[in-house]
Structure 1
Amino acid sequence: MSTSTSNNTVSIVNKPYPFWLGGVAASIAASITHPLDLTKVRLQTSGDKGMIKSIRKTIHNNGARGLLDGLTGTLLRQMTYSMTRFAAYDWAKGEVHKGPGQPPAWKMALAGSMAGGIAGVIGTPFETLMVRMQADKAKPIEQRYNYRNSIQGFYRMTSEEGIGSWARGMGPNTLRSILMNMSQLASYDWFKHELMRAKMLEDGPVLHFIASLGAGTVATTVCSPADVIKSRIMTAHGQGTSSTLGVIRQSLAKEGPMFMFKGWVPAWTRLQPTTILIFLTLEQLKKGVDAYRASGGKLL
């Protein structure tokens, strides 16, 4: 933030940013990294072995455009779940830390957990839709959902399975969301603050890049178990394999405890650039809003 003593500048900077900025930044990032997210989901939910082999299989079976399967589901998910988590995190930080200065690490983690819980509940139906659309063509033909796009898919999911389908996988998805936001959002703020406090870097793109790199690594490791379980529940067919305990038992019996980190490399490879792109984009969007307000703009 600016340290200017100008009352006008301070009021511009301190005014809350539009709540949808996080969703826009996440949508831009997800559009670029979608092929990696697609590959991660297919590794988690199918018998594919290795990231490169899975990518080659997708291209061989569906062409290069196959790497964009489920993109509309991804965008819908970002403008619901991601928009909510960023907006809720800003709100939660203000609730848990009323004093001056930067909140301590535990308060940032608490704010991230609160935001993650809210976003996880709101975003679960759209997360389910996204995962299904991404995993679909890696499954046997008879097990595919064949959604044409996110709107038609959401309609079919609701009409064919009832409103109860909106809550499918909500437990592990909300847990993953809590872990993700606690680790990603809070660690980004922590890395950024500590690097500036130590006077190692000034506020700018390089600082944002390094802080994002640390946040992405922390978040991938913390979230991997819940992410794998969530993906398997959301794509499972039949009631016996759709419960959290049922999926865990079945996966442990077949693959052992390391199944919880299956797809870690593509998850990290996907989450790292996504995290970097999200925060770099978000910081630039905020600067753009500041510049717009400083020029006299009133709409944002």
Structure 2
Amino acid sequence: MNSNRMVVAQRGVIPPPKHYADSAWFKYILSCCAATTAEMVTYPLDLTKTRLQIQGEKGLNGNGVATVPYRGLARTGVGIVQEEGLLKLWQGVTPAVYRHLIYSGTRMVLYEKVRDHLFTTRPDGTRPVWQAIVGGILVGGIAQFLASPADLIKVQMQMEGRRRFEGKPPRIHSASEAFVKIYAAGGLRGLWKGCMPNVYRSAFVNLGDLTTYDSVKRYFMGSWGLSDSYWTHALSSACSGLIGASLGTPLDVVKTRVMNQPTDVRARGLLYKNSLDCLMKTVRNEGFWALYKGFVPCWLRMGPWSLTFWLTYEQIRNACGTSAF
């Protein structure tokens, strides 16, 4: 009977059994493992970036006066360690990991499915860039929408250390408490506060990261003749980190400010009406380049993050017998 099934499978009637290593659920797990590793290694830069994006924001202290407690990446990071403690550099890492359990797993599996079933493959193995762009933006937006509540909790927890140092009462003490308070104040809708700038940002970051990595890697392998090795992964991830940071930083600033702003009893923002309002006020009050606050730590983080993620992801796929990305 088994031989009959094999013959039928070879004729294309019944597909041969698929090994679990190439199944969607297994790739989801592998991508979550790689993302968690990258997040833990580079998280202090993400915290520093968030603090830089908030500083100088008018209205944050309730008196309309902007304060700048730190200036620059190094002084911000050193200040956090001196005033709040070394471990505070990882404050908010728990919801950050939760976010990647949803975001990274979803975007990686969805992109691979879209790429393999809808993209056009040329003889040299490359695919049209416009298809990769559309696919990257689409899956990035979907994945971030699903993970937005975890991102909201992460941003608010990242700012708690600064609030306490300024003598303000703490808003939250843990990720679970933050979830309960946000839900109690605004219901399900409150958990998606600031979700649209987050979705836009992630769509562009995914365009810069996932689309760039996939396209550049195939270009290096097809046109330059490089093998699917560490060096190819490193070069591709370096390109993806730079492009991702360049495209994503302005929307990341807007996302951070919208998510961090205080709200009224109806969960409406007290500083900004929406993402566009935040964008306009930021440019008007602080200038265009305020949209690139935190770019250096964002780039310094996305570069190592991309490198760590892609090297880890490609190697564990190879170790588990999963086909190369």
When normalised by structure 1's length, the TM-score is 0.87
Q: Deviations over 1:156-209 (max 9, x none)?
A: 221233221122111110001111111210100111111111235211111101
The alpha-carbon deviation at position 265 of structure 1 amounts to: 0.4
Counterparts in 2 of 1:143 and 1:106: CA distance versus 1, 3 Å: farther
Which residue does 1:241 correspond to in 2?
271
- 1:146-165 matches, within 5 Å, as 146-148=172-174, 150-165=175-190
Task: Supply the distance in 2 between the matched residues of 1:37 and 1:15 (Cα, whole angstroms).
Answer: 32
Question: Are 1:220 and 1:271, in contact at CA under 8 Å, matched by a contact in 2?
Answer: yes
Question: Are 2:126 and 2:222, in contact at CA under 8 Å, matched by a contact in 1?
Answer: no
The alpha-carbon deviation at position 143 of structure 1 amounts to: 6.5
Which residue does 1:37 correspond to in 2?
46
Question: Are 2:253 and 2:293, in contact at CA under 8 Å, matched by a contact in 1?
Answer: yes
- 1:1-300 matches, within 5 Å, as 15-16=22-23, 18=26, 19-46=28-55, 47=68, 48-97=70-119, 101-139=125-163, 140-142=166-168, 144-148=170-174, 150-238=175-263, 239-242=269-272, 243-290=274-321
The alpha-carbon deviation at position 253 of structure 1 amounts to: 2.5
Q: Deviations over 1:205-249 (max 9, x none)?
A: 111011000110011001111111000100011323242133223
Q: Which of 161-170 and 48-57 deviates more?
A: 161-170
Question: Are 2:21 and 2:321, in contact at CA under 8 Å, matched by a contact in 1?
Answer: no
Task: Supply the distance in 1 between the matched residues of 2:281 and 2:82 (Cα, whole angstroms).
Answer: 30
| Higher helix fraction (1 or 2) | 1
- Over the aligned positions, Cα root-mean-square deviation in angstroms equals 2.4
Unaligned runs of 5+ in 2: 1-9, 11-16, 56-67, 264-268
Question: Are 1:109 and 1:182, in contact at CA under 8 Å, matched by a contact in 2?
Answer: yes
Task: Supply the distance in 2 between the matched residues of 1:11 and 1:73 (Cα, whole angstroms).
Answer: 34
Counterparts in 2 of 1:199 and 1:246: CA distance versus 1, 3 Å: closer
Question: Are 1:116 and 1:177, in contact at CA under 8 Å, matched by a contact in 2?
Answer: yes
Question: Are 1:212 and 1:275, in contact at CA under 8 Å, matched by a contact in 2?
Answer: yes
The alpha-carbon deviation at position 264 of structure 1 amounts to: 0.5
SS across alignment from 1:142: coil
Identity %: 27
When normalised by structure 2's length, the TM-score is 0.81
Partner amino acid for 1:15? D
Q: Which of 41-50 and 187-196 deviates more?
A: 41-50
